[in-house]
Amino acid sequence: MNQWLKSMRKGYGKKLVSIHAWNAWIVVILAITGLMLVGGFWRELLGIGRVWLKWIHIIVGLAMLAPVVYYLILAGKHWKQLRNRPWQRVNTIVVLVLLVGWLISGIVLWQFKLAGPKMSNAALLTHDLLTWVGLPYIIYHSITRTKWLKDPARRAVRTRTSSPVQDGINSGSPVPSDQDTYVASTSSSDSRITSRDELLNDTDKPQPVYTRRAFIRSAVGLGLTVTLGPTFVSWIGRNINMKNSIDSMLENDPNRMVPLPQPMSASSPPIGGGAEGHFRVYTVTPIPSFTNENWSFRIDGLVERGQIWNWEQFVKLTRTVQVSDFHCVTGWSVYKNTWEGITLKQLLAQAGVKPEAHSVKFYSGDGVYTDAITLEQAQMDDIIIAVMHDGKPIPADLGGPVRLVIPQMYAYKSVKWLNRIELIDSEHIGYWEERGYDKDAWLPGSKTRTSSL
């Protein structure tokens, strides 16, 4: 074992440089792909490419394990070399915590079905926090430590000027001050040894009041603050409930439906006590808006009595109230939602389903998104065509004026802006399922998977 460790640590200085370089590229790729995955513009533009991008993000994230493990093999030697550099030790710890935290939380989010909603929620919160705090730190750290900005006198890897130069790098042993040298370049093709006397002579030269190095660092820091600061503040606001974001959505709701649905007594105040958590707005198209003139709701296909309602007729249908949790495959959840609407079973019974019907297909008012469940799954009592959330109309951002809610499945089955239900004689592969999502959308531990349970 000792012999193996010794061979792994051979060429220690160059290996540290290599690890730093590979890790920097991994972080850059993860940053770009991660920000694209959460961006609404890219979600709409990429289509099926978003699923490929997600897998690139996962694979590269797992690849982060290699430089982390490799560094840990060299860590003892590196730690000794930093014994008189407390801030560099702190920096090393911070970077390792960030990388390990990203890795662990990312694996939990990747395996969300095994982890379950609660662990996924915690992992997503951790992943986001590390991103908004750690990403600027690592970018700043990497840019301001490139070889043409780095002061040679601050380098931590020391060697000897005598013949055992490489031994000095490998051993990390202290050497007399008159023999100390510093590696002045991280590039193996451009490396040279600079003596302490040369460095001291450089410090005797007149120094500018504000060096190029200081300017670049300040510019990078300011740029990161301006670009990522507002997003981080917004993220903090959402996660500590600084404001009721749904109220804000309703204030700016583009839907103009008249009359507004009036809540039942169980909805206002909501019997669930009020939703706990924050909805994240995802859409594959621009958010549509509706008025009485351009909205209708229909049920057709393999039914005995196809029906169509305008808004005034639809809000008069008999509604029910239920409390349920809402879980997204990306890791976030909103608990104790009080939904008010018409049960799917009620609508199907009213329309009369023909014997040859196999599946229930749902259409979104955006004209693009569709999904489906089997007729057997459609008999679950808690599937609701919702028109209200916590006693208030559902804003367009959250899929209003009418959306599907299937509490025992992940939210990509709960079609937003629902305006049509069709009974069909075969399976239908939904929008995101065509693009790589699992057809099995059941939540872990679902109580009901078929009508017979």
pLDDT for res 188? 37
Domain boundaries, the chain: 2-152+207-239, 153-204, 245-424
The DSSP secondary-structure symbol of 252 reads T
Contacts of 424 (CB under 8 A, 6+ apart): 301, 302, 357, 358, 359, 360, 361, 372
Other residues' Cβ atoms within 10 Å of the Cβ of residue 389? 27
Nearest to 326 by CA among 232, 399, 242: 399
Name the residue with tokens 């609701």. 384
Contact criterion met (CB below 8 Å) for 412 and 438: no
Contact criterion met (CB below 8 Å) for 341 and 384: yes
As a whole number of angstroms, the distance between CA 91 and CA 293 comes to 61
Second-level CATH architecture of 245-424: Alpha-Beta Complex (3.90)
Contact criterion met (CB below 8 Å) for 295 and 428: no
Q: What is the pLDDT along the chain (453 residues), one digit of tens a residue?
A: 556 555 655 666 777 777 777 877 888 888 888 877 776 666 666 666 777 888 899 899 898 888 888 888 878 877 888 888 888 888 888 888 888 898 999 999 888 878 888 888 888 888 888 887 777 777 666 665 555 445 555 555 544 443 433 333 333 333 333 333 333 333 333 444 444 454 445 545 555 554 555 555 555 555 555 445 555 555 455 555 444 578 889 999 999 999 999 999 999 999 999 998 888 887 778 899 999 999 999 999 999 999 999 999 999 999 999 999 999 988 889 999 999 999 999 999 999 999 999 999 999 999 999 999 999 999 999 999 999 999 999 999 999 999 999 999 999 999 999 999 999 999 999 988 887 788 889 998 776 544 332
pLDDT for res 205? 54
pLDDT for res 161? 42
Contact criterion met (CB below 8 Å) for 310 and 395: no
Q: Is 15 exposed, middle or buried (0-12, 13-18, 19+ CB in 10 A)?
A: buried
Phi-psi region of 399 (alpha: psi -120 to 50; beta: other; left: phi over 0): left
Extract the tokens encoding 351.
């329309």
Say how far residue 34 (Cα) sits from the centre of its chain.
Answer: 7
pLDDT for res 223? 57
